[in-house]
Structure 1
């Protein structure tokens, strides 16, 4: 995978939590989240995600810069809907297959133990889903 392979716009298909048993569970934005991820050729990026319309409040997003290091995408967060993310480096293990990008993330849990997340994106060339 090359950095050029990631440049463009991606539509969120799934945002799941992975349990300690390896089971896949509904993620923090519900069963049918919406989202867009942008990777620009100049090294800037932005991600915005929300619960499906009409299913209650829930939004998260951030923007900053990105780079590809091996099979890992690193996001440097400059602005965020969550203060604790600003100034951090978010590491994402990345898998690319055709027009699907899967990112594996680790998120802090309220219990103090990290939770694993899986985000699956589809490259989009038009408007909407």
Structure 2
């Protein structure tokens, strides 16, 4: 018996354009969801051009001592169900010159990106959902 066919991946051209951040949260290995680093109401813009990208995100409600802003720009490429962001400039200098890999899913006008981060010594999935602007 043949298994289910994998979902068809969108064309790279379907990712081009401007996206607004809808949500940003963390998920641990057990599936527990927690607030992301930009709080419960983050704001952000993601722009994919032909080979280039820019990401700018901020905390919706300022909190003293919390990360108020994250942003980077560079180039990008697709590798199957993954997007690789090659960072040239970044608000976090440690990310400049690195490649950040994200899995992605496109469902109509919603784009979900998932990447792994180590938070308090534990690997977590950072889940960002964007809506086409």
Give TM-score, length-normalised by structure 2: 0.86
Unmatched runs of 5 consecutive residues or more in structure 1: 125-129
Considering only CA atoms, is the larger Rg found in Structure 1 or Structure 2?
Answer: 2
Q: How many residues end up aligned between the 2 structures?
A: 122
Matched, 1:67 2:74: no
Superposition misfits of 4+ residues, deviation over 2 angstroms: 53-57, 108-111
* Partner Cα separation in structure 2 for residue 91 and residue 45 of structure 1: 14
Q: Is the Cα contact below 8 Å between 1:2 and 1:68 reproduced in 2?
A: no
Alignment partner of 1:47 out of 45, 55, 58: 55
Give TM-score, length-normalised by structure 1: 0.88
Q: Is the Cα contact below 8 Å between 1:96 and 1:102 reproduced in 2?
A: yes
Unmatched runs of 5 consecutive residues or more in structure 2: 1-9
For 1:82-116, what per-residue CA distance to the aligned partner results, in whole angstroms no more than 9, with x for missing partners? 011111110000000100000011123242x3321
Alignment partner of 2:15 out of 6, 30, 54: 6
Alignment partner of 1:25 out of 26, 34, 39: 34
